[in-house]
Amino acid sequence: MSEFLPIFINIKGKKCVVIGGGAVAERKIKTLLKYGAQITVISPDITDYIQKKVSTGKIKYIKRKYIKKDVEEAILVVAATSDKQTNIKIAKDSSFLINSVETSKPRNISGIVYTVPAIVRKGDLTIAVSTDFPALSRVIKNEISKLYGKEFASYLKYLKQIRKKIQGQISDSKKRQAIFRNIASEKIVSILRQYGFKEAKKEIEKIIDEV
């Protein structure tokens, strides 16, 4: 069994530091940007992609090698340099969340080591897949992505809207929960998959009208 606890965190506007400016760092940065992180990159050199993001003000760049104070007050740290010992030192210096490219586990770490799963995103739907073999995670991710198409993004957006309406109109919590179960049921998901969002919406409207 994996020793990692599956968890989703909100890093929007939070200080995230990436040490390293190569291809691996670039890949990590792309993911962090999707979730609104406030990113600082520490590295003597950076890729063209990272440079472009620096030029547009998307991220902050400090052109030098890593020093301990770089990770002070950072909520999330990525150790992605080409030097194993530097990555281990970064992991030991970090106080909160740390992701390192090293497979070995440094001892005496005060922070929390985390891994980045393969991610499927369809609007408000996020599915994370993690195995000890990243290539397999990507295969499973691709299979899941086919099962949950764009119609699920529309469906979830509509559910969010209708939920607020129901909460404002129906004071009885038991009735509300019954409606929520019905509009987010296997039946609705089946209609969504077979006939698309428009038909699923019609069925949801019927359920609400019957209340």
Domain segments of the chain as ranges: 15-116, 150-209
Between CA 161 and CA 148 the distance in angstroms is 20
What are the CA-CA distances from residue 97 to residues 26, 124, 204 (Å)? 18, 24, 41
Q: Is the dihedral of CA 36, 37, 38, 42 positive or negative?
A: negative
What are the CA-CA distances from residue 42 to residues 45, 111, 116, 192 (Å)? 9, 19, 20, 46
Write out the H or E segment, with its range, that includes residue 125.
strand 125-129
Residue 90 corresponds to which tokens in the numbers above? 């970064």
* Domain covering 15-116 in this structure, CATH number: 3.40.50.720
Each residue's pLDDT tens digit in the chain (211 positions)? 567 888 899 999 999 999 999 999 999 999 999 999 999 999 999 999 999 999 999 999 999 999 999 999 999 999 999 999 999 999 999 999 999 887 566 667 788 888 889 999 999 999 999 998 889 999 999 999 999 999 999 999 999 999 998 998 888 899 999 999 999 999 999 999 999 999 999 999 999 888 6
Report the predicted TM-score, pTM, of the whole model to 2 decimal places: 0.81
